A and B are shown apart, each in its own frame.
Chain A
Amino acid sequence: NAGVTQTPKFQVLKTGQSMTLQCAQDMNHNSMYWYRQDPGMGLRLIYYSASEGTTDKGEVPNGYNVSRLNKREFSLRLESAAPSQTSVYFCASSLIWGTGTDTQYFGPGTRLTVL
């Protein structure tokens, strides 16, 4: 039982390049999320998918797009990377969305550096 997996673990991009961060969960969860963590700041929600077929913006969606490919997979795309997107990105999933106390299960993170 792998839980939440993310690829790649590390990535270095040049400004303007694009890339997709992949996330998959094997817990049959309905909801999935993308967060970023920056020094001195808490985890901030980029996008979420409350259920398969739906996606919504979180707190900091600018510069990102997402795709809920199926129930298992939720990808995050940077179309034109900027240095301000240098961060650690976490994918998470939960059984359901929005109860207020739903436990989120996090992946190990992707450390992205944009030069």
Chain B
Amino acid sequence: DQQVKQNSPSLSVQEGRISILNCDYTNSMFDYFLWYKKYPAEGPTFLISISSIKDKNEDGRFTVFLNKSAKHLSLHIVPSQPGDSAVYFCAASLSTDSGTYKYIFGTGTRLKVLA
């Protein structure tokens, strides 16, 4: 049961254009959503997050949009740069009975920015 889904395994975008990475989820109880970026042979690094009570969060070239009614979030990268080529993971956090949170990761989307 994949509660966080990234249905596009890969995406290619021309340098300077917009990259849009999508993530769908099934559990309306998720509290936060996070995006991580991963380069080959490295661990994932945190990129940006959004609370479930917000619909947009922006940090420089990166903006995350949350559509709660559609249970969908997207990461926009504008303008895309060759250094953005990486695998992007969507993750969601869910509060537990013990009062803490657990994190559920999607399968990742490989972005390739073409020079």
Contacts and interface: CB of A to CB of B under 8 A. Distances in A.
Q: Do they bind each other?
A: yes
Contacts, number: 60
Interface residues of A, number: 24
Nearest to A35: B105
A50 B2 CA distance: 25
Interface residues of B, number: 29
Contacts of A43: 44, 89, 91, 105
B28 interface: no
Interface string B72-115: 00000000000000000101010110011111111110000000
Interface stretch (B14-22, B45-53, B58-66): B45-53
Interface in A64-115: 90, 92, 97-101, 103-109
B34 A42 contact: no
A68 to B, nearest CB: 16
Interface of B: 2, 4, 31-32, 34, 36, 41-46, 49, 51, 89, 91, 93, 95-96, 99-108
Given A100-B93, A106-B42, A106-B45, 20 more contacts: A4-B43, A42-B104, A42-B106, A42-B107, A44-B105, A45-B102, A59-B102, A92-B43, A97-B100, A100-B95, A101-B32, A101-B34, A101-B51, A105-B46, A107-B43, A108-B41, A108-B42, A108-B43, A109-B42, A109-B43
